[in-house]
Amino acid sequence: KQEVTQIPAALSVPEGENLVLNCSFTDSAIYNLQWFRQDPGKGLTSLLLIQSSQREQTSGRLNASLDKSSGRSTLYIAASQPGDSATYLCAVSGYGGATNKLIFGTGTLLAVQP
Amino acid sequence: ETGVTQTPRHLVMGMTNKKSLKCEQHLGHNAMYWYKQSAKKPLELMFVYSLEERVENNSVPSRFSPECPNSSHLFLHLHTLQPEDSALYLCASSQVVQGYIDTQYFGPGTRLTVL
């Protein structure tokens, strides 16, 4: 059974710092991995999707990497801003079945202090 | 702005009430999902509809009853809920090709409180 873990559970940094969020998964047979952002009381916004054949994806100040063999992904945020404050979730999608489902981690709550 | 809308945004109901949550997607996707998000727990997948057929029912109690009348609309009918059912209920949609999920797009959620 796939399990997704995110460390740390919470993180507070001063504005301008570069930071890394970690995600690990127990079954390396994944189809893709996604990073989402969730603002308080809101739905999820997809940030980056990495296919299993890819090593990384970049969007603006965000860079996500994937190491399938070790069951790890990282989300790198450069030059953090107060507007980056949110909960960041990673989720993996596996192979097989009529419709594959996403398995989510519990998230990392990020606070960027001005 | 997301192409997935949910109503109502907030709902307070007693344990004997019957209510329904509504989700609508404007993205032309062929799959829709209900998730439950409780405090301190990962998002839990409840139901998946693909091409308007329910393809996943994740051991959800029968007091939750989904309905997908067409590819753009998804409902979650609620009756005789328990206080532990209080949570944020999220709807999502995606395009599924040969069984594989593309990016899922989420609605803003309905915050449900059961008294």
Write out pLDDT tens, residues B64-109. Answer: 999 999 989 999 999 999 999 999 999 999 887 776 667 889 999 9
Give residue B39's pLDDT band: very low, low, confident or very high (50, 70, 90). confident
pLDDT digit string (tens) for A4-36? Answer: 999 999 999 999 999 999 999 999 888 889 999
Q: Are B109 and A102 inside 8 Å of each other by CB?
A: no
Which residues of chain B have a CB within 8 Å of the CB of A96? Answer: 99
Under 8 Å CB pairs connecting chains A and B tally to 70
Write the CA distances from B67 to A9, B48, B77, B97, integer angstroms: 35, 11, 8, 22
Q: Are B31 and A99 inside 8 Å of each other by CB?
A: yes
Which residues of chain B have a CB within 8 Å of the CB of A97? Answer: 99
Residues linked to residue A74 through DSSP beta bridges, in sequence order: A22, A65
Question: Which residue in B has a C-alpha nearest to residue A3's C-alpha?
Answer: B42
d(CA B26, CA B106): 12
d(CA A88, CA A82): 14
Write the CA distances from A86 to A26, A42, A44, A107, B33, integer angstroms: 25, 10, 10, 10, 23
The answer to whether A112 and A45 are in contact (CB under 8 A) is no
Question: Which residue in A has a C-alpha nearest to residue B91's C-alpha?
Answer: A43
